[in-house]
Amino acid sequence: MNAEIKKQRDPRNGLRMSATLATVFTILGHTVFGFEQPLAAVFVALGTGYACSLLFEWVDAWACDGIPNFMGGGALKVVDFLLPAHMTSITLSFLLFSYNQLWVIAFTVALSIGAKHVIRLHQRGRLQHVMNPSNFGLAITFAVFQWTSVLPWSFTTNVHGAIDWIVPLIIVGLGFRLNLFFTGRLPTIGAWLGTFLVLSGIRASVLGTPWSAELVVLTGIPLVLFTFYMITDPQTSPTPVRGQIIYGGSIALAYAVLLALQVQYTMFYSVAFVCGARGLIIALKNVGVLATASQPAQAIESRAITT
């Protein structure tokens, strides 16, 4: 029984599950759902992601006189090493709409993968990236190339009726299972949604608008993916429950502030801001400016599902 539980909670199983879900969703998107992004975007994103991941890891290992993490374990080790890059790349291929400008896809993927190797801090005894990769790439791209976008309706253009709401429910169910068994980030999800509900109610009361109008955004596939697959990245979010609650609530608060300022692509900027603020706090703790509370080691820290 213990061996079975250990196997189920192996971080590699979570990575493989996430990569498989993202791949299946992409295949269905281009064959059934009606993705409006060109199919070529998938291959450009994956090619760029794989190449950048291998190159940056090789350069990192060379600079540190070490051995690249993809070497010494055969083909399976290379596959496992590329899983995070696969998830980041394939996710960006359907989230980013660049009007057939495929170089923008390549730019965003390279930026996302590069951020994992450049924006790093010492955490739990090792260097670890602090910015959510795909979110960081999207935030920078939207800020620099303001003609790019995320099309909320582009994920299920060809499906109608019951299937139009069954698809998001399936995504929610699979995301709930992923976070229950592999990431342990259900408190983050709860804090994000709970704070969002409260702040949206206040916003509706102040503006005199229906509360339902404020909540309708939660029914779209982009927010579903954002809630269950992006903000729950174990590598760039806290593990303790208290930290998760602060983190999830902070994202909702940043979202509300940016929305009040009429900033577009609010959800991506809110995560970038909170991850950046969290990274600053970690950096200040590392240099002794802020006190660091001692925390017991937790096995969940090793669970890595990076998007």
Q: How far apart are CA 233 and CA 19, in angstroms?
A: 13
pLDDT on residue 228: 94
Question: Once rounded to an integer, what is the mean pLDDT over residues 76-85?
Answer: 91
Per-residue model confidence (pLDDT) at position 156: 81
pLDDT reading at 88 higher than 80? yes
Nearest-angstrom CA–CA distance, 26 and 2: 35
pLDDT band at 108 (very low <50, low <70, confident <90, very high): very high
pLDDT of residue 2: 42
The larger pLDDT score, comparing residue 291 to residue 231, is at: 231
Question: Which CATH architecture best describes the domain 2-291?
Answer: Orthogonal Bundle (1.10)
301 pLDDT higher than 60 = no
CA terminus-to-terminus distance, the chain: 31
Q: Tokens for 290?
A: 């802020």
User: What per-residue confidence (pLDDT) applies to 198?
Assistant: 96
HSE-up (13 A, CA, CB side) for residue 81: 20
Q: Mean pLDDT of all residues in the chain? A: 87
Which residue, chain included where needed, has tokens 């995070």? 84
Q: What is the DSSP string of the chain?
A: -HHHHHHHT-HHHHHHHHHHHHHHHHHHIIIII---S-THHHHHHHHHHHHHHHHHHHHHHHHTT---TTSSSHHHHHHHHHHHHHHHHHHHHHH-B-TT-HHHHHHHHHHHHHHHHHSEEEETTEEEE-S-HHHHHHHHHHHH-TT-B--TTTTSTT--TTHHHHHHHHHHHHHHHHIIIII--HHHHHHHHHHHHHHHHHHHHHHT--HHHHHGGGGSHHHHHIIIIITT-GGGS--SHHHHHHHHHHHHHHHHHHHHTT-SSHHHHHHHHHHHHHHHHHHHHHTTSS--------GGGG-----
Query: Could you read off the pLDDT of 266-298 as tens digits, one per residue?
Result: 999 999 999 999 999 999 988 877 765 544 434
Strand bridging mode 126-129 / 120-123: antiparallel
Domain ranges of the chain: 2-291
Express as a percent the part of the chain with pLDDT over 90. Answer: 61
Per-residue pLDDT, 233: 92
pLDDT of residue 197: 96
Q: What number is the average pLDDT over the span 161-182?
A: 90
Instruction: Tell me the per-residue pLDDT of 114-149, one tens digit each, with 9 for 90 and over.
Output: 999 999 998 877 888 999 999 999 999 999 998 988
**pLDDT above 70 coverage of the chain, percent:** 89
pLDDT of residue 303: 40
| pLDDT of amino acid 43 | 97
Average pLDDT over residues 203-219: 90
